[in-house]
Amino acid sequence: MTGTPRLAFLASPAEEAQLALAQMTARYGEHSPEEADVLVALGGDGFMLQTLHRHAGLAKPVYGMKLGTVGFMMNHQRSEDLIGRIHAAEPAVLRPLEMVAQTESGATVGSLAYNEVSLLRQTRQAAHLSIDLNGQTRLDELICDGVLVATPAGSTAYNFSAHGPILPLGANVIALTPIAAFRPRRWRGAVLKADTEVRFRVMDPFKRPVSATADSHEVRDIVEVTIRESRDRTVTLLFDPEHNLEERILAEQFTSG
């Protein structure tokens, strides 16, 4: 990127983020997301995901600054030399998951997930699911609280909390991770090639209802969900070189807290 980039500042509703928004726009000016060269997201990881979902169609790189409780996808917040930081930033290209969910009512709902797609039981009844990979049944019955499919960028979030593997960027794999599996009791999930089509079928969906959530978009009372990595959609995040996303994912595997 050469010259001075036009910036569009986007902020979460939190007071701290709104204060930073006022300071940043006064210092660097303001452009609409459509006019800007770079989107600057002020908030936490949740707001970054909202920004990606809302503005992915613009195909603009996004530079995040942490002003929330969780900031794995964000850079450290400071207002000095923002233009220089953006010029020096390293890009991380993310490819989202595409979810297509079929509901009990017959509706078909599609959504994207940059972190993960998770299936969760809706009641005290455990979920009973079957799992197909590329059209072949691999698990006839998984009895569990839920199951998820995570991207490498999302593998440090819910997936890691569910004891799933952390995946390196650029490895062209996704994680399939059970959540509190009861049977098979020792099944820990699988690491799959990124182009694998994963299909879940809900067994007895009226007695054991299940929801599917793509990042924060929930679809309730599902009967079947198909998940695959998008072939034609990408987003680009910008990271300070000393703390880029690849380094964060590596460092996360050596933390004890």
- What pLDDT does residue 256 have? 53
Cα 76–97–166 angle (5° rounding)?
A: 55
Average pLDDT over residues 156-168: 93
The string of pLDDT tens digits covering residues 35-79 is 999 999 999 999 999 999 999 999 999 999 998 776 788 999 888
One-letter amino acid for residue 154 of the chain: G
Strands 62-66 and 235-239: parallel
The answer to whether the CB of 61 falls within 8 A of the CB of 38 is yes
Going along the chain from its start, the domains and CATH numbers come out as 7-94+234-252 (3.40.50.10330), 97-229 (2.60.200.30)
* Neighbour-count burial of 59, counting CB atoms closer than 10 A to its CB (0-12 exposed, 13-18 middle, 19+ buried): exposed
Q: Looking at residue 126, what DSSP letter applies?
A: P
pLDDT surpassing 70 at residue 116:
yes
Q: Over the chain, what is the mean pLDDT?
A: 94
Catalytic site positions: 45
Backbone angles phi, psi at 142, to 5 degrees: -110, 120
What mean pLDDT do residues 120-140 have?
Answer: 98
User: What pLDDT, on a 0 to 100 scale, did the predictor assign at position 201?
Assistant: 99
pLDDT tier at 15 (50, 70, 90 boundaries)? very high
- According to the model, what pLDDT value does residue 1 have? 61
Q: How far apart are CA 44 and CA 42, in angstroms?
A: 7
What pLDDT does residue 254 have? 73
pLDDT tens digits, residue range 225-256?
999 999 999 999 999 998 777 877 777 777 65
pLDDT category of residue 257 using cuts at 50, 70 and 90 = low
Q: Centre a 10 Å sphere on the Cβ of residue 221 and count the other Cβ atoms it contains.
A: 17
Identify the pLDDT of residue 217. Answer: 96
